Structure 1
């Protein structure tokens, strides 16, 4: 039996834009799975409720879920605990991911570099409720204790949790979108144990600044953390700018 979808996770299942309802439904669900918002073993809401959350017809939702099931991202269980669940195992990658161009990498990193330090600063300025503090500390602990194969999903969830404190759904959605794009880039490079240890220390520093209300330090700590990610991506993907500078993300 998998876990029921939490109220917090349900908030990320915002309506699609209806330009291409089927494709955007798949994109929205995959984004949440890759971010770890929909974690392995989570049970999706009933069909009618999920369709309402996404703002699509039940027929469109069924088609999207059928394709995700074929691809191995979700599975259907029958019986007493029946329903649609996020698959426990991540589907194997279908060949090597294509290398992104320098412009694509730079765009992602600049966008993230604008959003996430601002989100950390806003979080430090907020008057945190006990549940918000607990949620932030819980996501910090989860990423710090995550095994290598789950690290990036937990890392993404941690960064989105910081944005949640702002109270702005638009900011949360923007950070989630940016983080999903970063995750696609990170999937192209190896996990480095020293980098994970360094990242965890930086995460701790960001959280400490937020909890004591130091918005300037929260901003700086977030910028420093993103700079490390940018350096790794530029190095492994060979997308450094000609002048050797990074985009500051």
Structure 2
């Protein structure tokens, strides 16, 4: 059996709006900080409903490309609107809850064990990771590499070969959830503060406090616009 001849799907109208908006930004030379035309104007100029424009804007928000300010318009966060294909977003949205469940179960235990077993070298690695993340954020980045280093250092500090192997087995999915979380508005600085709370508990050798801090952090990671987005809320007109 093959799904090569599966039924063709008609492109959602808001996907066509996305393509036009990307073209508009490119041809107009817009840059981060510039404002898009109001939704009402976009709908009139494109000849579509305002609902389709709104759904396109939501997709751009989900991908961290624009910021819609309540009552203040929509502003570019990047110099381009290089939109990820909607079907890839849909697939990631489907698998993300399972990844987040696995992260909470595994990383909460890893933080607890790290508080019991960490060495001075482990603590040094965690501190170094947070310094790296802070530098990334100060430089205008999201702190993705520092985040990866920190969680890797916590895993190493737990000194559990089997749990470390479980983490490696879902490393790609964890990376997706990390990127998704850190591109939420104001999330990098909040994540950095939560990492510091985890480190403080591990350094103090308080397993329950470390587990609680990690659980709180992973539940923050789970709060992303992608999971609130309904990909079918914008069917072809």
Instruction: Name the TM tier (shorter chain).
Output: 0.5 to 0.7
Aligned residues: 145
**Residues 132-143 of structure 1 correspond to what in structure 2 (within 5 A)?**
132-143=122-133
Q: d(CA) in 2 for partners of 1:199 and 1:136? A: 14
Q: 1:220 pairs with 212, 224, 229, which one? A: 212
Counterpart in the other structure of 2:99: 108
Seen in structure 2, the aligned counterparts of structure 1 residues 124 and 238 have a Cα distance that, compared at 3 Å, is same
Counterpart in the other structure of 2:28: none
**Larger Cα-atom Rg:** 2
Counterpart in the other structure of 2:114: 123
Structure 2 counterpart SS, 1:231: coil
CA deviation vs aligned residue, 1:68-119 (integer Å, no higher than 9, x gap): xxxxxxxxxxxxxxxxxxxxxxxxx895371226541121111111000100
RMSD over aligned CA atoms reads 2.7
1:190: Cα distance to partner? Answer: 7.0
**CA contact under 8 A between 2:134 and 2:192: conserved in structure 1?**
yes
Counterpart in the other structure of 1:76: none
**Residues 1-249 of structure 1 correspond to what in structure 2 (within 5 A)?**
95-96=84-85, 98-99=88-89, 100=91, 102-126=93-117, 128-147=118-137, 148-149=140-141, 151-187=143-179, 191-232=183-224, 235-238=225-228
Q: What stretches of structure 2 of length at least 5 have no aligned partner?
A: 1-81, 231-237
1:137: Cα distance to partner? Answer: 1.2
Higher share of residues assigned helix: 2
1:121: Cα distance to partner? Answer: 0.3
Q: d(CA) in 1 for partners of 2:104 and 2:97? A: 10
Q: Which has the higher contact order (CA 8 A, sep 6+)?
A: 2
1:191: Cα distance to partner? Answer: 1.8
Counterpart in the other structure of 1:4: none
1:216: Cα distance to partner? Answer: 0.5
Q: d(CA) in 2 for partners of 1:129 and 1:211? A: 9
Counterpart in the other structure of 1:16: none
Q: d(CA) in 1 for partners of 2:160 and 2:203? A: 19
